[in-house]
Structure 1
């Protein structure tokens, strides 16, 4: 009888052990397929449509390129290129960063000690979330106060970015700025291959107008909306090249000209870029302009960016001009103001509203900055 009981007990134990090993292996397999890794290319490689050497080539990689991967098969890694899946042989790739995301399985949490530990972690997490909410409320109160202080110092003249005559000297003190680092990343399904040619550079993007200042308006289209949308796309491209990106405004907020220049001067800024869309009484006037104020600091920057814009965009070239616009004149860093089309011109208006055009603008400015910094380092 005892032998029978022992046999049944051992059989049950082995079944439980086998089940545990199977579940563990299943989770290990799931984890393996849920790795998000960052690689650097060590030698020229090709991207293919499938994980084998006979698949069609859809792109090339050169030494120094970086790519994120989301799956592995037989020595091949899967990434995305131009929105499509692409496979790269992993032999010439150097792993730089790895993130693993594994979903919890309740069947592996039967042990009471594990459950108790999770309950403690949950309580600690709730305490942290409550503390974060309290901090967020304090931060929101500070921002609202800053907005009130900021708006109270303004005049209607501030609305026009191209009439700086109302100010003769910059303010010694300005209320809290709204500089905000950009945390948005390029979608994993769009541009994944990155060269990081702007590593170490800090770019401050200034979306023109905002809040109670709509900028130019035509047929319901407001300049302040176009500049913010363009700024977001530009930030994505710049971050893909490794730059640190900040905004003078990251939402529909009214920021003074003085405050915009102030943010550039008091923070570490390598380049200041102010984005605008133009307006003129004659609807026939169209095209793009680039402006700078300080010849020594900003002329070369304006030339590199304007050249890239003209080369990328199918727009009338209205040239580069030197003007004492406030955000340029009182900016201590290399700074440009870009007029990216006329809202008052029917053809320009139709074009500048499109994601395609704004993406082309973002790519062109990024290319111009790469050329500018390369020239600075020669």
Structure 2
């Protein structure tokens, strides 16, 4: 009998193994589901990254815009502050009108036994005052007469008013007719009772004089005379006291400082009505720098160094007055000009 060969069923076993490794339908569905989850996760991650990128870019743009706005606002605030500072400085600048009396064909008196004319000495002193004050940041000098020209009183006042002068200083010399013994320096201002207030604002006076009002208590007509009396009374309570005070203080300061610089008789300050004082709408004084008819005064006035000393005294008097009364000067400017 022949030997039996044992069958190993290798093929069958291999088929079983193959059958065991082959994925089932459930596994296939699971694999597809897993792949989808991975794709979704990756897509979500990509979208998240894109979102973060655009968010960061948007944040940078927004921050840059806000910074630009903040910078612009800061610059505008700084500019506004600079403008306010400049306006404040401008408000604090005091306009000083210096008027050299005489001029042109109106030569005035000639110095005692000399060749210098009154108009020339006045102008030289006025120019020295201008030079002294021009270096001050808070002072603006207005030269009413800057060269040899004849100006009428009305033109001088109009020029000062046009240039918004806060103070008016008229530089003049005194003279004595027929005699030559009077000497010295004095400064004039005008008191309230001497001021012709109707000349300061004629239009208001004329308007008020035309009005007719009824007195409710007596049913009588109140006309021109009554209105003028009322206007006069109101002005005495408001304009007159302050105007008088500033002009007098200005005169005192100029007289005192000028005398400290020169050797000349101190004639003090005087309350007197001069046309130029009566019609100026700002605190004003007339400085009579000496008697050109007096030999000693005339010799001094012809000397350039003496002219400079007088101008220095007047200049320091003006500056002292401004430093002590700046607020009052600005208030006077606002209320009355």
State the Cα distance separating 1:207 from its structure 2 match: 0.4
| Pair 1:259-2:208 in alignment | no
Q: TM-score, normalised by structure 1?
A: 0.46
Q: Which runs of 5+ in 1 are unaligned?
A: 1-198
* Residue of structure 1 equivalent to 2:5: none
Q: Which 4+ residue blocks in structure 1 deviate beyond 6 angstroms?
A: none
Distance in 1 separating the partners of 2:263 and 2:136: 24
Out of 280, 285, 297, the position equivalent to 1:348 is 297
1:272 to 156, 168, 172: 168
**Which fold has the larger relative contact order, with Cα–Cα distance below 8 Å and residues 6 or more apart in sequence?**
2
1:62 paired residue number: none
User: Residue 338 of structure 1: which of 283, 287, 292 is its match?
Assistant: 287
Going by fraction, where is strand more abundant, 1 or 2?
1
The answer to whether the Cα contact below 8 Å between 1:264 and 1:332 also exists between their aligned partners in 2 is no
1:64-213 correspondence runs (5 A):
200-213=93-106
SS of alignment partner, residue 146 of structure 2: coil
Residue 203 (structure 1) shift: 1.1
- Flag structure 2 segments of 5+ consecutive residues without an equivalent: 1-91, 192-243, 328-337
Q: CA deviation at 1:260?
A: 1.1
Cα distance in 2 for partners of 1:223, 1:260 equals 18
In structure 2, the partner of 1:77 is: none
* 1:229-308 mapped onto 2 (5 Å cutoff): 229-242=124-137, 243-280=139-176, 281-294=178-191, 295-308=244-257
**Please, what is the CA RMSD of the aligned residues?**
1.9
SS in 1 for 2:150: coil
Partner of 1:319: 268
The 8 Å contact of residues 305 and 365 in structure 1, kept in 2 or not, is answered as yes
Tell me how many residue pairs correspond in the alignment: 182
- SS of match in other structure, 1:213: coil
* Secondary structure of 1:214 counterpart: coil
The structure carrying a bigger helix percent of its residues is: 2
Confirm or deny: 8 A CA contact 1:278 1:341 kept in the other structure. Answer: yes
In structure 2, how many angstroms separate the alpha carbons of the residues matched to 1:241 and 1:360?
A: 18
TM-score (norm 2): 0.52
Q: Radius of gyration: which is bigger?
A: 2
